[in-house]
Amino acid sequence: MSNHVTRWTPSQQAVAAQPLFRLFDTFFNDAGEDLATRTWTPPVDIQETDDAYRIHAELPGMTKDDIQITLENNVLRLSGERKFEKDTKQENYHRIERTYGAFSRSFALPTQVSPDKVEAKFENGVLSIVVPKAEQAKPRRISIG
């Protein structure tokens, strides 16, 4: 058994603690990122039934007044803007991971729809849109005579 003792030096401690320093550096310095350069795209689910298309978009932190929905030439467009609270100073944040700013999503619907019968509701940060298919686009059963 060796009685060899390793002598501690400050440089050894700095090398051993380097990952910790990087962690704190990353944690505190990311808050300085410019929110204006960040973009975001809300996630959307699209479901097709025999009668309609159902669209669900996650828009947390927004109100229905922040969102616009248009339907033109069978293209459904969602747009809006999630704003950063202007009363809150960015300097007080340690980290900002949520994204802010304008977004726009467009979806070409593959069959004719009834634009005058579209319904939308916004609840708990989820926008739900039902776009009914036009009568001529709905599948119909044909009996054999």
The residue written with tokens 């669209």 in the block is 55
Which amino acid, 85?
E
pLDDT score recorded for residue 7: 59
Report the C-alpha gap between 113 and 130 in whole angstroms. 10
* Token reading at 137: 């686009």
The residue written with tokens 């959307």 in the block is 44
pLDDT score recorded for residue 106: 95
Least confident of 9-13, 29-33, 72-76, 81-85: 29-33
Instruction: Report pTM.
Output: 0.67
Q: Does residue 31 sit in helix, strand or coil?
A: helix
Percent of the chain scored above 90 by pLDDT? 45
The pLDDT-based confidence of 31 (bands split at 50, 70, 90) is: very low
Checking if the pLDDT of 96 tops 60, the result is yes
Residue 61 dihedral angles phi and psi, to the nearest 5°: 80, 5
Task: Mark residue 61 as left, alpha or beta (left: phi above 0; alpha: psi -120 to 50; beta: remaining).
Answer: left
In this predicted model, which residue has the larger pLDDT, 92 or 119? Answer: 119
Q: What would the CATH number be for the domain defined by 10-137?
A: 2.60.40.790
